[in-house]
Amino acid sequence: MARPKEFNKQAALEAATDVFRAHGFAGTSTEMLTTAMQIGRQSLYDTFGDKWHLYGAALEQYAQAETRAHMAALRSRDKAIDGIARLLARVVAEASRPCLGIGSVSEFGDTKPELAQIREAAGRPLRDALVDSVREAQRQGDIAADLGARYAAAFLLAQIAAIRLAARGGASDAELRAHAKLALKALS
């Protein structure tokens, strides 16, 4: 008779996510994962399949959680531009922790369709919400009316990635805040 799993799968997945965030897929060993997850190698394989499937599960959970948090920040203010500013402030505040989404793009680009699908599924709702927020900010007179809303949203997503990459490269908090401020200024 098989022994029942004696660990919290969610907590183990969160621990694995932290390791992948810090080290990427290639830089993460199975030993690093089992140590962080506080499980044995066989439990990892029995529960998650293998390191690749664990990485996919970590990316999916991370992407969904980040999207929810981004959207909550975006919708946290009455004025659309204030919600966009709050979203950028959230990114700046969290930028010291590596982003698994940016890490997966940096490490794999678009060479792994399963990862691209995870990122697209999580990113689409945020992109759509940003387009809506830009349009609302345009109606409210806070973003230039002649900017294409989809392009402005794509620009904001690029700025989110840039802030996270700059943080990973050692940019100071002041530099990251300035980057976010300049991104907002570019839309007016």
Handedness of CA 69, 75, 80, 86 (dihedral sign): negative
Please name which of 77, 92, 82 lies closest in space to residue 180, comparing C-alpha atoms: 92
pTM score above 0.75: yes
Residue 49 lies in a domain: no
Residue 4 lies in a domain: no
Token pair 């840039």 in the structure block, residue: 162
Please name which of 137, 120, 122 lies closest in space to residue 85, comparing C-alpha atoms: 137
Please tell me the total count of domains within the chain.
1
In tens, the pLDDT along 39-89 reads: 999 999 999 999 999 999 999 999 999 999 999 999 988 999 999 999 999
| Contact present, 2 and 23 (Cβ < 8 Å) | no
In tens, the pLDDT along 85-103 reads: 999 999 999 999 999 999 9
Please name which of 56, 64, 59, 78 lies closest in space to residue 126, comparing C-alpha atoms: 64
The CATH number that applies at residue 167 is: 1.10.357.10
pLDDT of residue 2: 53
Residue 138 lies in a domain: yes
Residue 181 lies in a domain: yes
In tens, the pLDDT along 149-173 reads: 999 999 999 999 999 999 999 999 9
Q: Which domain holds residue 128?
A: 56-187
Residue 161 lies in a domain: yes
Q: Give the total residue count for the chain.
A: 188
Residue 144 has pLDDT above 80, yes or no: yes
pLDDT of residue 4: 52
